[in-house]
């Protein structure tokens, strides 16, 4: 009888279609992709979704600036994000656009439920608004007349519906307390808790000064506030909250949009009795050679160019490995090249190439069967089979960089083992020992290939194809699945060394 797989639901932010995607956008989706692939290989029924955020004043402005009709404009930019997902080999199961009927219908029904539950009332907003952030700010939050994010603010006075956010201060604090892993990493949780403790004001959730959005039911002068609209993509993409994938296991977001996900989002859901997501993980920001990435500075890194230059897997590996997931990071070409050469080309690549080339040449293209395994052989094998347990614990905390370290440690241990055992000398002195040694190394390479799949899917596939391995999910990481007597293919280099450009 087939066992039912446990559902695992993971989301990325949906991207504003005011701008072309850059490496910062690719980063949110890449992290989610890596986590989704890991969970699939670990036997979960994964739903991984991403999409585009297409309403609001910021998009309307961008369309006007481009002198394009709004619909034509959002179609054009949304498709760039959709194409990027293909080009970067992202494994998302769906792509939601907030301009789609399935989304608009769900948000309209949510609005009605909120109104019926008494969570929404009509009033008048007078205060500051930053179009860039699509956010309202209190006077006390402004710094030198600007939003704390540096965005320009404008004074807005208009009739508006309000969400009774102030009712949720205590409920939210109690929820964070009872669910200490809801906001991750912990430093971010503390920020949110402090902010909520300072007091929450009711939130303006409709606008009347522009029209590009979902109309408020029965009061069509108003459009629904873009964040209320956008956040519900996480459910509209599933159909509704009765989907087996809800509540969500993890929302991956950037630190700049944590407030919306960790405060507004759970409060909206509480108001209409929808179960809350299990985790919101806020990642850091990439800067370039120490400076903020922006279109106006002309230093935004184009993910496609990076892939053309260095390859997709190198880019994926660098972004996931260079910084601890949750912290900010600096992109520089030098650190990129150093990281790839040290860990992929020299460490893992060399190991696989020298061992497999040796087997291909000296063992009739076949992985030898071991006669006797010594303690030193067994301890390396054990390390290879147990790596998944360490990685699983780390990936469940989204410590992606540390999970990769487990693979690097294994490759280091295998490289030391090769040096120490010197199979090329055993060839003339002790064939049985040489066979054991090569078997152990082939097993380590098999494990590394399997474990690398979420991070560098193409290269890992290449490694596993050379070994002619069929079962590639994490259940294969045991001695019972060991390969011996298997014919291998002519090994070719898996990881290229990158050259510094002149």
Q: How much is the CA Rg of the chain, to the nearest whole Å?
A: 26
In 3D, which of 129, 168, 164 has the Cα closest to residue 149? Answer: 129
What are the structure tokens assigned to 24, written together?
Answer: 């910062």
- Which of residues 53 and 241 has its CB atom nearest to ligand MSP in the complex? 53
In 3D, which of 109, 150, 138, 131 has the Cα closest to residue 201? Answer: 138
Give the rounded distance of the alpha carbon of 294 from its chain centre. Answer: 21
Dist CA 188 CA 51 (whole Å): 25
- Which of residues 132 and 339 has its CB atom nearest to ligand MSP in the complex? 132
- Which of residues 330 and 465 has its CB atom nearest to ligand MSP in the complex? 330
State yes or no: cis peptide before 247, omega within 30 of 0: yes
Closest distance between ligand MSP and the C-beta of residue 24, in Å?
2
Closest distance between ligand MSP and the C-beta of residue 59, in Å?
9
| C-beta atoms surrounding 130 within 10 Å | 20
| C-beta atoms surrounding 26 within 10 Å | 27
- Which of residues 226 and 351 has its CB atom nearest to ligand MSP in the complex? 226
- Which of residues 285 and 385 has its CB atom nearest to ligand MSP in the complex? 285
Closest distance between ligand MSP and the C-beta of residue 284, in Å?
7
Dist CA 337 CA 324 (whole Å): 18
Contact (Cβ atoms closer than 8 angstroms) between residue 44 and residue 102: no
User: Collapsing DSSP states into helix, strand and coil, what is residue 158?
Assistant: strand
What are the structure tokens assigned to 327, written together?
Answer: 């912290």
What are the structure tokens assigned to 179, written together?
Answer: 């669910």
**DSSP annotation of 296:** T
Closest distance between ligand MSP and the C-beta of residue 89, in Å?
19
In 3D, which of 351, 363, 370, 361 has the Cα closest to residue 463? Answer: 351
Dist CA 290 CA 402 (whole Å): 24
Contact (Cβ atoms closer than 8 angstroms) between residue 138 and residue 148: no
Which residues bind to ligand MSP, rule: CB under 6 A? 13-16, 24-25, 27-28, 53, 230-231, 233, 253-254, 256-257, 285-286, 293
> Strand 291-292 relative to strand 286-288: parallel, antiparallel, unpaired?
antiparallel
- Which of residues 330 and 489 has its CB atom nearest to ligand MSP in the complex? 330
What are the structure tokens assigned to 451, written together?
Answer: 């474990």
- Which of residues 27 and 106 has its CB atom nearest to ligand MSP in the complex? 27
- Which of residues 259 and 421 has its CB atom nearest to ligand MSP in the complex? 259
What are the structure tokens assigned to 99, written together?
Answer: 């301009």
Dist CA 181 CA 279 (whole Å): 7
- Which of residues 108 and 366 has its CB atom nearest to ligand MSP in the complex? 108
Closest distance between ligand MSP and the C-beta of residue 299, in Å?
10
Closest distance between ligand MSP and the C-beta of residue 52, in Å?
8
Closest distance between ligand MSP and the C-beta of residue 327, in Å?
11
Closest distance between ligand MSP and the C-beta of residue 423, in Å?
45
428 membership: H or E segment, kind and range = helix 423-429
- Which of residues 27 and 125 has its CB atom nearest to ligand MSP in the complex? 27
Closest distance between ligand MSP and the C-beta of residue 265, in Å?
8
- Which of residues 136 and 417 has its CB atom nearest to ligand MSP in the complex? 136
Closest distance between ligand MSP and the C-beta of residue 31, in Å?
10
Closest distance between ligand MSP and the C-beta of residue 51, in Å?
9
Closest distance between ligand MSP and the C-beta of residue 293, in Å?
4
Dist CA 421 CA 367 (whole Å): 17
Contact (Cβ atoms closer than 8 angstroms) between residue 493 and residue 459: no
Longest dimension (CA), the chain: 89
- Which of residues 28 and 415 has its CB atom nearest to ligand MSP in the complex? 28
Concatenated DSSP letters of 11-53: EEEEEETTS---HHHHHHHHHHHHHHHHHHHTT-EEEEEEEEE
Q: Which residue has its beta carbon closest to ligand MSP? A: 254
């Amino acid at each position: 009888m087939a066992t039912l797989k446990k559902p695992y639901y993971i989301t990325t932010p949906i991207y504003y279609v005011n701008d072309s995607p850059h490496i910062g956008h690719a980063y949110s989706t890449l992290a989610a992709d890596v986590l989704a692939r890991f969970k699939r290989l670990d036997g979960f029924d994964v739903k991984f979704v991403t999409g585009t955020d297409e309403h609001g004043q910021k998009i309307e402005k961008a369309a006007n600036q481009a002198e394009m009709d709004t619909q034509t404009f959002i179609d054009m930019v949304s498709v760039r994000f959709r194409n990027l997902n293909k080009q970067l080999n992202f494994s998302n199961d769906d792509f939601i656009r907030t301009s789609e009927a399935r989304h608009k219908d769900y948000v309209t029904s949510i609005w009605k439920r909120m109104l019926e539950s008494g969570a929404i009332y009509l009033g008048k907003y007078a205060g500051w608004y930053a179009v860039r952030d699509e956010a309202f700010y209190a006077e006390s939050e402004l710094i030198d007349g600007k939003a704390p994010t540096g965005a320009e603010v404008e004074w807005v006075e208009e009739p508006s519906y309000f969400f009774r956010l102030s009712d949720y201060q205590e409920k939210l604090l109690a929820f964070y307390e009872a669910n200490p892993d809801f906001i991750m990493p912990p430093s971010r949780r503390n920020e949110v808790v402090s902010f909520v403790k300072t007091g929450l004001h009711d939130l303006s959730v409709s606008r009347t000064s522009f029209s590009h959005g979902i109309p408020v039911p029965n009061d069509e002068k108003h459009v629904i506030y873009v964040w209320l609209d956008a956040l519900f993509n996480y459910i509209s993409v599933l159909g509704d909250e009765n989907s087996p994938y809800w509540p969500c296991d993890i929302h991956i977001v950037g630190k700049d949009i944590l407030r919306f996900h960790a405060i507004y989002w759970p409060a909206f859901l509480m108001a209409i009795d929808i179960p809350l997501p299990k985790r919101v993980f806020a990642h850091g920001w990439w800067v370039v050679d120490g400076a903020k990435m922006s279109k106006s500075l002309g230093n935004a890194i184009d993910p496609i160019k990076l892939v053309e230059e260095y390859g997709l897997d190198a880019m994926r590996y660098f972004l996931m490995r260079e910084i601890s997931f949750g912290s900010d990071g600096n992109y520089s070409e030098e650190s990129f090249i150093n990281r790839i050469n040290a860990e992929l080309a020299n460490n893992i690549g060399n190991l696989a190439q020298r061992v497999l080339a040796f087997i291909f040449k000296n063992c009739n293209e076949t992985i030898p069967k071991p006669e006797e395994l010594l303690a030193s052989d067994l301890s390396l094998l054990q390390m290879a089979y147990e790596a998944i347990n360490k990685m699983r614990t780390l990936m469940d905390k989204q410590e992606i960089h540390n999970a990769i370290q487990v693979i690097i440690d294994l490759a280091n241990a295998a490289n030391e083992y090769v040096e120490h055992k010197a199979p090329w000398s055993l060839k003339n002195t002790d064939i049985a020992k040489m066979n054991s040694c090569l078997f152990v190394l082939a097993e380590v390479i098999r494990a590394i290939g399997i474990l690398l799949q979420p991070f560098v899917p193409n290269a890992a596939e290449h490694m596993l194809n050379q070994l002619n391995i069929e079962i590639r999910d994490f259940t294969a990481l045991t001695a019972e699945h060991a390969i011996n007597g298997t014919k291998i293919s002519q090994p070719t280099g898996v990881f290229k060394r990158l050259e510094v450009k002149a």
